[in-house]
Structures are given as structure tokens and as C-alpha cells.
Amino acid sequence: MVSYFLQHIQYEKRLSHHTITAYEGDLKQFSLFLHFQYELKEPEKADFQMIRSWIVSMVEEKIENRSINRKIATLRSYFNFLLRHKVITNDPMLKIKALKTDKTLPKYIEEKPMENLLDDIEFSNDFVGLRDKLVLELLYGTGMRLAELIGLKISDLNLYNNTLTVLGKRNKHRIIPINKSLVEAIKNYLKTREDITQDTTNQFLIITDNGTQAYPMFIQRLVKKYLSLVTSLEQRSPHVLRHTFATHLLNRGADLNAIKDLLGHSSLAATQVYTHNSIEKLKKVFQQAHPKA
């Protein structure tokens, strides 16, 4: 049933490749645990005690609570799938609770380093340079997810209206406005893109040096390479640019609901985490500037 579940989240739920890989890895680990501890080959037959034992074993192995909670979430989705398809009659996850975790604020890059990266650092005027800068401009200028960037097609661009359309989680489309400088960057890139690939069937906007569709590791390496020039943050990923986009908008007074829509969050609660960054920044300003601080 695991393979059916993975097909379900890929083709019906339309989850990202990264998420599907994580789910698959979690379920493989769970299946191995059941096999060696209980000689059980079918994970759908696991009960509450078996699941609890797996969680306890991970705690004893000093695995971070946040990672364990992600695996718990995987099992919750899996057994919910089994329940809806009447493979099981009782959900063994009902009594399983997530472990307590320390709240961590989203990591982001300050405005000045981002300005240095996009305005001061020289990018070559060939295909590679124009593409690399465009990737950074798109991630920081729109807040889109890695999977959304990779899936972005030329037909999703509306350069006349200065907008683009991305396909987000749960197969939902959203329109994101883009500024004029980003529009120009896209136009310049598209001219050189034609020289790299003659494959008219490949309509994905961002392509590799060989003219094929970009893939997660390719973008991750690209982003890390350039962010390393302006920040010492341990995390230098595409998602950090998404956090940076949201935090900078909020710091400059953008409405939280508008940021929610731009990010494609399903609820305001997911967006409110960025308000904590703004509060922390206000505290620092207060401490530095107020005579009684």
C-alpha cells in the first residue's frame, strides 16, 4: 500500500518532489523498524504500540524532535489514506501526539547584503550569468518555492501585465506581480536561452547549462554559491530567500494578508511566524536607541 500512497500524494495531492522523497524515506525507515522488531512486513498492520515504540527508539537515538514530528506527520497522512480507502478500520495514530519543540524563527538575510548581491556583484552577460541572477531575482522578488520555480514555464509569464502564475501546493495557481527590472531580466535571459536549447518542447523557464529542465539540487547549489558571498548564515537555501522576501515586505509595512496570498499559504497562521522577526528587530532598535533601554 505504500506505493499506492506515494502515487496518491504525487498525482492527486500534487506534493513537491522534495516532500514525496521525504515521505518515502520515512515510510521505509518505519517499515524496516517493523520488520526487525516485530517481523511485520506490512506497515498498514502496525498498531499504536508499534508506532509508539518506533517514536521511543528515535528519541533514544537522539534524533531531533522536529525530525521525529515530521515522521509522525508522514504516518498520520499514510494511515489517514488507508482509513479513507477502507484498508483499515481504526486509525492507530489517534493517540499519537507530536513531541514538544523549541520555536525557531525563519532565517533570513538583511536588506543590505541582498542589495549587494543583486546590485554590486557582477554577473557575466552570457546565458549562465543571466540565468543565475534571474534565479536569485525570482526567488527573492516573488517568494516562490523551489518546486514552483522549477515548474515555472514560459507560458506562465505575462510580461505585458508584469505578472507570472505559479502552480503551488495542492495544485493551486496564484498570480504574483513582478517589478519592471525583473521583467527586463527575464527578457534578456530568454534571448540567450534560445541559443542554449533548440528543443521547442522544453518550455520550462529555468534550464541547466545543457538545456534541460532545472532540478532541485542544481538550484540549491546555485543559490548556496551566491549567498555564500554575502552572508555567513548556515542555511543558504532557496527557502531562505522565500523567508527573506516575506520578512522584508513585512518590515516595510506590507499587509500580512497580502503576504499570505503572495506566498500561497492556506492560512494566516503560517504567515504570522514572520511577525516574530519584525518584533525582534523592533526590540533591537529599541535597545540601541531608547535612552532608558
Q: For the sheet containing 163-167, what is the strand order?
A: 157-158, 163-167, 173-177
Give the chain's mean pLDDT.
90
pLDDT digits (tens, 9 = 90+) for 124-154: 999 999 999 999 999 999 999 999 999 999 9
pLDDT digits (tens, 9 = 90+) for 208-229: 999 999 999 999 999 999 999 9
Task: Give the DSSP letter of residue 53.
Answer: H
Burial of 84 (0-12, 13-18, 19+ CB in 10 A): exposed
pLDDT band at 285 (very low <50, low <70, confident <90, very high): low
128/266 Cα distance (integer angstroms): 35
List Cβ neighbours of 213 (8 Å cut-off, separation of 6 or more).
150, 202, 204, 206, 207
Task: Report the alpha-carbon angle 211-203-149, nearest 5.
Answer: 85
> What's the predicted TM-score (pTM) here?
0.70
Question: Does the pLDDT value for residue 121 go beyond 60?
Answer: yes
3-state helix, strand, coil in the chain (%, to 5): 60, 5, 35
- Which residues does the annotation mark as catalytic? 145, 169, 239, 242, 265, 274
Task: Report the alpha-carbon angle 188-191-193, nearest 5.
Answer: 110
pLDDT at 230: 95
Query: What cell numbers appear for 60 in the block?
Result: 533514544
Query: What cell numbers appear for 178 in the block?
Result: 513582478
Strand runs (DSSP E) across 62-162, as ranges? 157-158
Domains of the chain listed by start with CATH number: 2-84 (1.10.150), 111-288 (1.10.443.10)
Question: Does the pLDDT value for residue 173 go beyond 60?
Answer: yes
Which uninterrupted H or E stretch holds 151?
A: helix 146-151
Q: Check: CB of residue 63 under 8 Å from CB of residue 33.
A: no
| 284 to 4, 102, 109, 165, 202: CA distances (angstroms) | 51, 22, 16, 37, 49
